[in-house]
Amino acid sequence: MNKWIKYILWVIGIIVLVMVIDITCIFTIHRPLFAIKEDNGDSVNIVYRGLLYDTLYCHEYSTPQVKPKGTKISCAVERVDVGDVVSIKDTTKEIKDFACDSALEQFYEDDMYKYSWSCIKNDYMVVKYESGFEETISDALKYGTITISDLDRYNIDYIKENHIK
């Protein structure tokens, strides 16, 4: 076997071994070895940023959440701490040449209707609160901090479909 192939196999093997050790540490000592702790000022919810994945320890989960790098992750916030709604925005309007995948993305449902975005853009539909906390419109609707009529008041475009019964 060529010495370069052996060298490459050794490097790949070491990388795999380090990842296995790191993930094992997440579930045993509750902390990855090869990550930087993100200081969010919250002693209950902890985020570790690694090279290939991020680890999130939230009070609402019984096990750590390991997410691929670049995935938007956050812990639930005590709902009493968020304060009043300051704004509801479609941040896609602030992004020059914004494009999203063409598909209806359902973000809410009640007894009579299903509500969807015209494309995959839920992460860009944001509610801001007095406390500075931000969350997606779908989460705010789920927690009851806003209603569909609030979307109308802030001129947020959505698609409303009847339930098929």
**d(C-alpha 34, C-alpha 122), whole Å:** 32
Mean pLDDT of 62-89: 73
For residue range 67-76, list pLDDT tens digits in order.
Answer: 887 777 666 6
Q: Does residue 131 have a pLDDT over 70?
A: yes
54-60, long-range: CB < 8 A, 24+ apart: 55/26, 57/30
Contacts of 127 (CB under 8 A, 6+ apart): 85, 87, 88, 89, 134, 135, 136, 137, 139, 140, 145, 146
100-104 CB contacts, 8 Å cutoff, 24+ apart: 100/124, 104/159
Q: Which residues pair with 117 in a beta bridge?
A: 105
pLDDT tens per residue, range 108-130: 998 889 999 998 998 889 999 88
Query: Average pLDDT, whole number, for the chain?
Result: 82
Q: What is the pLDDT of residue 19?
A: 84
What Cα–Cα distance (Å) separates residue 154 from each residue in 27, 116, 140, 158, 161? Answer: 44, 16, 14, 12, 20
Q: What's the pLDDT band for 160 if we cut at 50, 70, 90? A: very high
Domain boundaries of the chain, sorted by first residue: 3-68, 79-162
Q: Token digits for 46?
A: 């902890």
b/e per residue 7-21 (b: at least 16 CB within 10 A): eeeeeeeeeeeebee
Q: Residues near 31 by Cβ (< 8 Å), separated by ≥ 6? A: 25, 48
